[in-house]
Amino acid sequence: MAHKHAVRQALHPQLCELWTHEPLRHKAGTWLDSAPDPSLPEAGVALREVAGHSFAVLVQARLKLVAELDILLLRPEDPGAIVQRADIDNRLKTLFDALRRPCTAQEIPTEWTPRAEDRPFTACSTTIG
């Protein structure tokens, strides 16, 4: 759990940067509003609450927001060693789990408190797959 959250924390600044570019920039004020205006049907739609923490979810089917990943694994090993000595499936699963929003309080370290600039905390998706 802690290592997945560490990956989330490392990716958070990059995902925040995405919200400052089109096509998200013009919708960020509405979609990330934690106190949405009920007259705006799309207000707050990117926010999800988990264990008292707000997560801004970037990829959502209902908003027709998708993402593409290009993954390059660099390891300080001889070529081919990752296939012979490491479990590449579990490494990718850990990455995918870290990219999605936590679903339960158990997936968030109990000692973690987001900084003011981490609110809302960004996640790539509610699900990966």
In total, how many domains does the chain have? 1
* Lowest-confidence segment of 82-86, 89-93, 101-105 by average pLDDT: 82-86
Mean pLDDT of 62-66: 78
* Lowest-confidence segment of 14-18, 37-41, 119-123 by average pLDDT: 37-41
CB atoms within 10 A of CB 82: 15
pLDDT for 76 equals 78
Q: CA 29 → CA 20, 26, 88, 117, 121, distances in Å?
A: 10, 7, 39, 15, 15
Tell me: the pLDDT tens digits for 106-116?
999 988 888 88
- Please give the Cα distance from 104 to 69 (Å, whole number): 25
36 confidence band (pLDDT: 50, 70, 90): low
pLDDT for 106 equals 92
The separation between CA 13 and the C-alpha centre of its own chain, rounded to angstroms, equals: 10
Instruction: State which residues form the domain around 62.
Output: 2-125
